[in-house]
Amino acid sequence: MDPKDIDLNMVMDRLDSNSSPLDCLVNPHDCALSETCAQQEVWKTVEASVRNVLSNITVADLAERQSSLAGQTALAARFT
C-alpha cells in the first residue's frame, strides 16, 4: 500500500489505539450518567475533531515532515 494512501486515522484504527480521554466514550453503557453527561458530549466532539485531523495526514506527509525537520536541524547545526 502506498504511504500516500494511508492516513493516520487508519494507523490508529489498525493499532487498535484508543485515543479517548474518557473510558465512558469507549463504553458508554458502563456509566450511569452517560445519557445526561455534558462532559461526554464535549469529549465526543474533541475526539471527532482529532480523528478528522488524523484522517487528513498521511504516512507520506508525516515522513516528509520528519525529513524536513531533520534537514532544518542539520542546517541549524552547521551555523551554530
* pLDDT confidence of residue 61: 97
* pLDDT confidence of residue 31: 82
* pLDDT confidence of residue 19: 66
> Which amino acid, 72?
Q
27 by DSSP, 3-state: which?
Answer: coil
Residues of the chain below pLDDT 70: 17-19, 21, 74-75, 80
* pLDDT confidence of residue 65: 94
* pLDDT confidence of residue 75: 61
* pLDDT confidence of residue 49: 94
5, 45, 55: which is closest to 22 by C-alpha? 45
Helical segments of 22-58, H only:
23-26, 38-55
* pLDDT confidence of residue 54: 95
